[in-house]
Amino acid sequence: MYTEKMFTEKELAHIREQFYYTDKDYYGRDRLFFDNAGGSLRLKKAEEEFRRIDSIPDASEHSNVLALELAALEDRGRGWIREVVFNAESGVIYPAYTASQIAMEMIQIILENASGNNVVITRLEHPSVYDAAVMYSRKHGMELRVADVNKETGGVDTETILSLVDKDTALLCCMAASNISGYIFETERICREARKINPDIYIYVDAVQHAAHGLLDPEKWGADVTSFAPYKFFGIRGFGLAWLSDRVNRFEHHRLLGKELDDWEIGSPAPAQFASFSEVIRYVISLGQKKEPEEKDRRRLFEAGMHRIADHERGLLKMMLEGVDGMPGLRYMPGVTVRMDGRDLTRRDLILGIEFDGLSCEKAVKEYEKRGIITFERALSSLYSRRMVEAFDSKGMVRLSPLHVNSPMDIWRFLVATQEIAGLQ
């Protein structure tokens, strides 16, 4: 069942031991968790390190010995986030409570400072990005231009986005991957071509969906802001992280006036959050080390680790679509339709949306749960989903988002349950 590029069965068993609740829920009941796009399975080390560091009361801004140790831990975390996760030499890391907060605040700040008369955005953006773009383009009297979807690929074509950009575009918001279809945008090409049209454009890349599945490279892309949230990347809730380019870094923002302009952290820092996410980085590096035992550079090892995650996940995605061990895949199951089913799997994160012919997405999600599988409904009634669901002419979809910790056997179990649910219609 395991194809060449996937983790071996033995290695996967070791990976699964490092996460909580891979096959049982909190109460010990058998369960498959296919809602990682809503908050991913958590790395045990990330949780343990959070608890260990958070139990220490010392203030990392003070000067006693333990306080200084906490400050050093934070600094190491900031450094790794910038150099290893974002691969950036310039710019600054901006931590916040959520990625939504970052989106709202950064779009506000950019539009207060940028010149131009329009904002370009894709129809698939998360409401925190979309609504901030609506609010602040209105406030500054700018036209909002929305790039529409490609119903086949589940994405937005690069050409469609670029056709809306002109020399007066102040801001372009284009996510790294969609949290409804998994479509991976051509971020580098989009940034490069948009800058050819307007060298002064600001570009916001929301990488909250993509970060746990692929690499981020905002400096190379030519983005100005790139954000993600550790809770969707094997880590802890209550933390959002962004990389800001040097030009955005210089914008006036909320800060104590005695602090430097490039200090974006407001209030007491949280050493436990930095320590916890450092464990996620170490984990990805450890996957890379298996493949590249001679390599010493942390970013190169992180890249190797993320490639392995993506390869395993692509193997699982293919099994979900095409079938595994005698079970037909979703593409061939009567009563089931795969939506946004782009054929090029290298352009898709492990996330997909399906519809049942005679069952609403809300009911289907309940049926999955009865069978010990957690999925999520992308319903028309939800303010998080409506715009995207309507874009694909759907009445609502079941969103499936497994993770690299899942096995071919998990996919087989999921397909058996899906066939059973399809039979209820």
Ligand X SMILES: Cc1ncc(COP(=O)(O)O)c(C=O)c1O
Nearer to ligand X, 227 or 418 (CB): 227
Burial class (CB in 10 A: 0-12, 13-18, 19+), 29: exposed
- Residues in region 232-251 near ligand X by CB under 6 A: 240
Q: CB under 8 Å to 118, separation ≥6 — which residues?
A: 137, 142, 143, 144, 145, 166, 168, 169, 170
- Residues in region 201-220 near ligand X by CB under 6 A: 206, 208-209
Nearer to ligand X, 98 or 160 (CB): 98
Nearer to ligand X, 73 or 236 (CB): 236
Nearer to ligand X, 70 or 236 (CB): 236
User: Which listed range, 93-101, 142-150, 250-258, 273-281, lies at the site for ligand X (CB under 6 A)?
Assistant: 93-101
Do the Cβ atoms of 146 and 178 come closer than 8 Å? no
SS3 377: strand
- Cβ-closest residue to ligand X? 100
Compute the Cα dihedral for 149, 154, 155, 159 and give only its sign: negative
Q: How far is the CB of 190 from ligand X (least distance, A)?
A: 16
Nearer to ligand X, 7 or 185 (CB): 185
- Residues in region 19-38 near ligand X by CB under 6 A: none
Strands 92-96 vs 240-244: parallel, antiparallel or unpaired: antiparallel
- Identify how many contiguous H helices and E strands the chain contains and give both numbers: 14, 15
Residue 100 touching ligand X (CB under 6 A): yes
Nearer to ligand X, 300 or 386 (CB): 386
Residue 229 touching ligand X (CB under 6 A): yes
Nearer to ligand X, 368 or 376 (CB): 376
- Quick one: tokens of 107? 């779009």
Residue 422 backbone dihedrals phi, psi, to 5 degrees: -60, -30
Binding string, 123-142, against ligand X, x = CB under 6 A? ---x-x--------------
Q: How far is the CB of 99 from ligand X (least distance, A)?
A: 3
Angle between helices 408-423 and 298-322 (to 10 degrees): 30
In order of 34, 141, 190, 242, 330, the CA distances from 137 in angstroms are: 36, 6, 21, 22, 41
Residue 98 touching ligand X (CB under 6 A): yes
Binding string, 147-176, against ligand X, x = CB under 6 A? ----------------------------x-
Q: How far is the CB of 241 from ligand X (least distance, A)?
A: 10
Q: Using CA atoms, how far apart are residues 294 and 76, in angstroms rounded to an integer?
A: 23
- Backbone Cα Rg of the chain: 22
- What b/e sequence results for 252-271 when a residue is b if at least 16 CB atoms lie within 10 Å of its CB, and e otherwise? ebeeeeeeeeeebbeeebbb
Q: Using CA atoms, how far apart are residues 319 and 13, in angstroms rounded to an integer?
A: 19
Residue 40 touching ligand X (CB under 6 A): no
Nearer to ligand X, 36 or 87 (CB): 36
Q: How far is the CB of 240 from ligand X (least distance, A)?
A: 5
Q: How far is the CB of 197 from ligand X (least distance, A)?
A: 25
Nearer to ligand X, 122 or 179 (CB): 179
Q: How far is the CB of 207 from ligand X (least distance, A)?
A: 8
- Quick one: tokens of 214? 């692929």
Q: How far is the CB of 347 from ligand X (least distance, A)?
A: 16
State the DSSP H helix or E strand holding residue 169, giving kind and residue range, or none if neither.
strand 169-173
**Size of interface with ligand X, in residues (CB under 6 A):** 12
**Residue numbers at the binding site for ligand X (CB under 6 A):** 98-100, 126, 128, 175, 179, 206, 208-209, 229, 240
